[in-house]
Chains A and B, each alone.
Chain A
Amino acid sequence: MDIQDALRPRPPDQRPAHSNNKTKLKIEHLRKHFGAVLVLDDVNLDVKSGEIMCVIGQSGHGKSVILKHIMGLMIPDGGRIALDGATYSTPTSKPVDFEEPRRKLGMLFQGAALFDSKNVGENIAFPLREHTDLSENEIRDVVAEGLEMVGLQGIEEKMPSELSGGMRSRVGLARAISMKPEVMLYDEPTSALDPIMGDKINDLILDLRRKLGMTSIVVTHDMSSAYKIADHIAMIYQGRIIYAGTPGEIRASRDPYVQQFIRGQRKLHYAVEDEKVYEAPVDINKLRPAYRPGQHRG
C-alpha cells in the first residue's frame, strides 16, 4: 500500500451510509460481576445492521468483557443480548443457546489467541475445514487470500511463536474473517500495530462492510481510527455506556468524562461556565456504594 495514500486524511462525509436502521445486535441492561467487583453495571447498546460501532473506554472498564458476553463466552448476571431480534444470552442461558448465534459472529481476541500447536496456515484452515465443504485447494486459496488482506502473504508455514505481537493479531483477524461472519467483534485490532498497518486494518474493516455488509463492533483506544471508521462511538465508563453518538457528536460532547478520554487528559474538566450544559447521563455517585465499580482496581 502506498504510504502517502495511507496517511491522507479521509473526509468523514465520504463515509457510505450502509446502515439500514435495522437493529442487528441489542444489549439490554447487561450486568456482570466477578467476585465482589462489579465490572458491568448496566450496559445498553444498540448496533444497527451494517454499522461500525466503536467502543472506547479506559483500560479495565469492561470492554473485553462486553465482547465476551456477546460471543457467549461469559454468562451475564443480568440483562439480555439479542441478535437479529432473537434473545440468546440471559442469566439462565445454557451453552447450547450460543451455538446458533456463534455461527453469525466472529471475534478477534485482544491477544490474538492463535492455536500454538498449529502453524499459521492451519490456524486459518482449521475452522474452514470443519465447517465448510471447500476442497483442500480452495481452502489454501482462502487462507492465502486472508493473509494477503492483512498484509502477511506467504507466512503459512510459520508457527505462532515465531510471529510478533502485531503479526499474531493480524493472523487472528484473518482467521476470524475467513468464516465471513455477519457480525465481527474486534478487540483492539490496531493497538499492537504501527500507524500505517493500523490504517490498513481500518481500511479492511471498512472494506468488509462495503463488500459483505458486515456489522462491526470495534473496541479501541485509538481515537483517530475510531473517528475514521466509526458510524457511532460508545463510551464505557465504570460499567455503563455513558455516551453514544456519531464521531461528530462525541467530539462536541460536553460530558467531562468523554472529553477527558478523547483528549487524553488526566484531569476532569467540568463545564463550569454554564452549569446546565453539563448533565452526565449517569451519575456515578448515585450508584449504591456496595456495587460501586472500579474500587478494586489499582
Chain B
Amino acid sequence: MISPLRIPVAALEKTGRLGFGLRNAAYVFFAHVLYISELAYKTVVRAPLLFKNVSLSIEQMYIIGLESLGLVAVTSVFVGGEAVVQATYQFSGYVTLRYLGMVVCKALITELCPVITALVVSSRISTAIAAEIGSMKATEQLDAMACLSLDPIRYLIVPKTIACVCMMPVLVIFSELVAFTASIITALLFTDVSLTTYLLSLRMFFFPKDLFIGVAKTMVFGMVIAMTGAHFGFQSTKGAEGVGEATTKAVMTAAVLILVFDFVIAFLVL
C-alpha cells in the first residue's frame, strides 16, 4: 500500500513536471518568436526589391483578399449582432439604451473587428502559407529555387507579406462596415431603440483616432500572419505529416502573437 505521506510528494512531483513542461514549452515558443523576428527582418530588408516584380504581390493580394472576403463577411455579421445583444444585456436596468450605439461602435472599431478579423484571416491565410511553403519544401521546390539562385524569401515571402499587410486594413474596414450594418439591423429588430437614436449614439464620442488605430494595428497582424505561416512552412519536416503539423503550429502561434501584439499596441498607444 502506498503510504499517505507519498501523496503530497507525488503531487509536488507532478507539479514540478508540469512546471518543467511549461518551461520547455515557453523556451520553444520564444525560440520560434526569435526565428520569426529574424525572418521578419529578412523580409523587410528585401521588401524594396518588390518593385522589380510587382505582379507577384498583386496576384497574392487577389488571393489573400478575395479568399478571405466571404469568411470575414460572415463572421462580421455575427460580431456586429452579438455586440448589440451583449451590450443590451449588460445595460439592462443600469444604463439607458441611448448609449447602446456608442458602446457597440467603440467595441467594434477598437477591438472586436480588428482582432476577430485577424484571427479569422490567420486561420485561413497563415495555414495556407505554411502549407504552401511546407509542400514546396517537401517536393524540393525550395531546393530547386536555391539551385537557380532564386531567393525564396524574395520571391515567395515578400509578395505574401506585402499582400497581407496591405489587405488586412482593407478587410477590417470591410468587416466594420458589415458589422455596423448587422448591428443596426439587430438593434432595430431585437431592442427598443429607434433608428435615429441608435445612429445618433453611434456617432457619440466617436474619435477618428480610435478608428485609425484599430485599422493600423491590423497591418501588424497581417505581418504576424504572413511571418508565422512562412516560418512554420520553412521549418516543416518532409512529408504530408510535416505539412499538417506546420499548419497547426502556424495558426496557433499566429493567434497567440496577434493577441500579444494587440495588448502591446493598446498599452503603447492608448
Contact = CB atoms under 8 A, between A and B. Distances in A.
Interface of A: 68, 71-73, 98-99, 102-103, 105-107, 109, 111, 113-117, 126-127, 130-131, 172, 175-176, 179
Contacts, number: 52
B148 A109 contact: no
B141 A73 contact: no
A73 B147 contact: yes
B51 to A, nearest CB: 14
B149 interface: yes
Contacts of A73: 143, 146-147
Interface string B42-69: 0000000000000000000000000000
Contacts of A107: 144, 147
A127 B146 CA distance: 11
B140 interface: yes
Contact of A113 (B132, B143, B149, B150): B143
A99 B136 CA distance: 21
B197 interface: no
Contacts of A126: 148, 150
Interface centre among B140, B147, B149 (most CB of A within 10 A): B147
A172 B139 CA distance: 13
A106 B147 contact: yes
Interface string B152-187: 000000000000000000000000000000000000
Contacts of B132: 117
A115 B141 contact: yes
12 contacts: A68-B143, A73-B147, A98-B146, A102-B146, A102-B149, A106-B147, A107-B144, A109-B140, A111-B140, A115-B136, A117-B132, A126-B150
A68 B144 CA distance: 10
Given A102-B149, A103-B149, 15 more contacts: A73-B146, A102-B146, A105-B147, A109-B140, A109-B144, A113-B141, A113-B144, A115-B136, A116-B139, A126-B148, A127-B148, A127-B150, A130-B149, A130-B150, A179-B148
Nearest to B146: A73
A291 to B, nearest CB: 24
Contacts of A113: 139-141, 143-144
A176 B149 CA distance: 11
B143 A109 contact: yes
A216 to B, nearest CB: 15
A115 to B, nearest CB: 6
Contact of A71 (B139, B141, B147, B150): B147
Contact of B149 (A111, A114, A131): A131
A107 B146 CA distance: 10
B39 to A, nearest CB: 14
A68 B147 CA distance: 10
Contacts of A117: 132
A102 B147 contact: yes
Interface in B114-141: 132, 136, 139-141
B143 A99 contact: no
B84 to A, nearest CB: 43
Nearest to B143: A73
Contacts of A105: 147
Contacts of B150: 126-127, 130
A158 B4 CA distance: 73
Contacts of B145: 115
Contact of B141 (A106, A116, A179): A116
A115 B132 CA distance: 11
A103 B149 CA distance: 7
Interface centre among A68, A98, A115 (most CB of B within 10 A): A115
B155 to A, nearest CB: 8
A203 to B, nearest CB: 24
Contacts of A99: 149
Interface centre among A68, A72, A111, A130 (most CB of B within 10 A): A130
Nearest to A175: B148
A70 to B, nearest CB: 10
Contacts of B143: 68, 71, 73, 109, 113
B140 A127 contact: no
Contacts of A106: 147
Interface centre among B136, B140, B141, B148 (most CB of A within 10 A): B148
Q: 7 closest Cβ contacts across the A-B interface? A: A113-B144, A113-B140, A127-B148, A107-B147, A73-B143, A113-B141, A109-B140
